């Protein structure tokens, strides 16, 4: 197979580190960079293959969620006292004891 030349630019510090590592590996710089890039591509492709099914499930769930009608607004009067307490506790977990009004960046 014919070879193709690829030119890269990098600062001299990186170039010297690459040369040093290539020498330690017993390779010339081109072989070292091809080896490193090939290994990186194989790792990325393996990760993509590993998560492809999960990515498809997530995409399907997102599409299904996007097609759902929005939930109706719930007024405070529509909640029972127990539900109001549960909402208050959940908000406390999110905002802490101070509540949203005292968090930095929020109006009081």
CA distance 76 to 83: 10
CA distance 59 to 38: 29
Tell me the angle at which helices 29-67 and 12-24 cross, rounded to the nearest 10 degrees.
Answer: 110
Q: Across residues 8-34, what is the average pLDDT?
A: 97
> Measuring CA to CA, how many Å separate 89 from each of 54, 86, 108?
33, 5, 20
Q: What is the pTM of this model?
A: 0.52
CA distance 25 to 4: 23
> Per residue in 35-90, pLDDT tens?
999 999 999 999 999 999 999 999 999 999 999 999 889 888 889 999 999 989 99
């Amino acid at each position: 197979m014919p070879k193709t030349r690829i030119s890269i630019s990098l600062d001299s510090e990186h170039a010297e580190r690459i040369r040093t590592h290539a020498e330690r590996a017993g390779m010339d710089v081109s072989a070292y960079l091809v080896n490193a890039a090939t290994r990186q591509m194989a790792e990325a492709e393996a990760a993509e293959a590993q998560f492809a099914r999960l990515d498809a499930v997530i995409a399907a769930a997102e599409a299904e969620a996007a097609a759902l009608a929005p939930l109706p607004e719930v007024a405070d009067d529509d909640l029972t006292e127990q539900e109001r307490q549960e909402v208050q506790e959940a908000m406390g977990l999110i905002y802490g004891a101070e509540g949203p009004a005292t968090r930095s960046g929020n109006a009081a």
